């Protein structure tokens, strides 16, 4: 069983393996979600590690796609010559249709936000049966906040087709964790700053379900685990976790 990552490098290595496993089982639209404040600031560095990892199998068939022209240009400047191609998701002047070619075998989308959800959906549709990896997407607000018919359509038509291959989100006293093909897991923080598995769920535990798990109402919770009192404050818990990931 995988443990909660101790460093960002551990999380990246775990997520690469999880994505690889998901693709090998036939999944085509997968997400790597590191739900950590300011993780988008590390997007370019994480993207390079993923691109280098998957270019070993796909070579020039890998296309790395950034959400805007500026980010794509910066990556090309910083990375220099690469076997894979680097582009942006398009704009009103260069539609996303122009960003997909017959030579592309796999797409790596870097930190798409709710603003780009339309072009992201288009690219996924244009990709057809070619894999698309969404790396640290910022789409949670689209999935949870949007109301009305249009939002429900978007969730049913597109967001529901995305499989989370890797997910980690710290909260006050613990973390939600998933590494494909494992179930969704809830871990709690112990006195020695380590983490212990509390429960496993078939769906992502959020809201009332997460609260019930933390109140000890999960049938899968192992005996003898003491639920920590929630007295650290969420900021302290997140800062502790961020320090660990930044080592």
**240 has pLDDT over 80:** no
Task: Provide the pLDDT confidence category of residue 224 given band limits of 50, 70 and 90.
Answer: very low
Instruction: List the chain domain ranges.
Output: 8-15+26-166, 168-246
Q: Provide the pLDDT for residue 76.
A: 97
Q: pLDDT > 70: what percent of the chain?
A: 83
231 pLDDT more than 60 = no
Report whether pLDDT(232) > 50: no
38: number of Cβ within 10 Å:
7
- Per residue in 20-38, pLDDT (tens digit) is 999 999 999 999 999 988 8
Question: Mean pLDDT lowest for which of 15-29, 38-52, 210-224?
Answer: 210-224
What's the confidence (pLDDT) of residue 220?
A: 57
Q: Can you spell out the DSSP letters for 56-105?
A: HHHGGGEEEEESSHHHHHHHHHHH-S-SSEEEE---SSS-GGGG--TT--
Residue 99's CB is within 10 A of a number of other CB atoms, namely: 20
Average pLDDT (112-128) is: 91
Q: Which CATH architecture has domain 8-15+26-166?
A: 3-Layer(aba) Sandwich (3.40)
Instruction: Quick: pLDDT tens for 55-101.
Output: 999 999 999 999 999 999 999 999 999 999 999 998 878 899 999 99
pLDDT at 219: 59
Residue 173 confidence (pLDDT): 85
In angstroms, the Cα distances linking 244 to 22, 121, 170, 233, 240 are: 27, 34, 12, 17, 6
pTM for the whole structure: 0.86
């Amino acid at each position: 069983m995988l443990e909660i990552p101790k460093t960002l490098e551990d999380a990246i290595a775990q997520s690469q393996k999880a994505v690889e496993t998901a693709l090998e089982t036939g999944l085509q639209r997968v997400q790597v979600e590191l739900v950590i404040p300011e993780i988008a600031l590390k997007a370019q560095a994480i993207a390079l590690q993923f691109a280098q990892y998957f270019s070993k199998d796909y070579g020039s068939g890998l296309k790395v796609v950034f959400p805007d022209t500026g980010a794509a240009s910066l990556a090309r400047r910083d990375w220099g010559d690469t076997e894979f191609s680097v582009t942006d998701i398009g704009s009103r002047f260069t539609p996303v249709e122009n960003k997909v070619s017959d030579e592309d075998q796999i797409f790596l989308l870097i930190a798409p936000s709710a603003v780009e959800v339309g072009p992201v959906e288009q690219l996924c549709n244009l990709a057809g049966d070619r894999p698309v990896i969404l790396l640290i997407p910022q789409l949670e607000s689209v999935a949870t906040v949007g109301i009305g018919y249009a939002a429900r359509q978007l969730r049913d038509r597109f967001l529901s087709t995305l499989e989370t291959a890797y997910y980690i989100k710290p909260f006050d006293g613990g973390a939600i964790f998933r590494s494909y093909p494992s179930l969704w897991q809830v871990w709690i923080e112990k006195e020695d700053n380590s983490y212990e598995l509390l429960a496993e769920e078939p769906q992502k535990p959020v809201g009332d379900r997460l609260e019930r798990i933390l109140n000890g109402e999960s049938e899968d919770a192992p005996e003898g685990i003491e639920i920590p009192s929630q007295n650290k404050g969420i900021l302290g818990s997140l800062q502790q976790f961020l320090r660990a990931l930044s080592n």
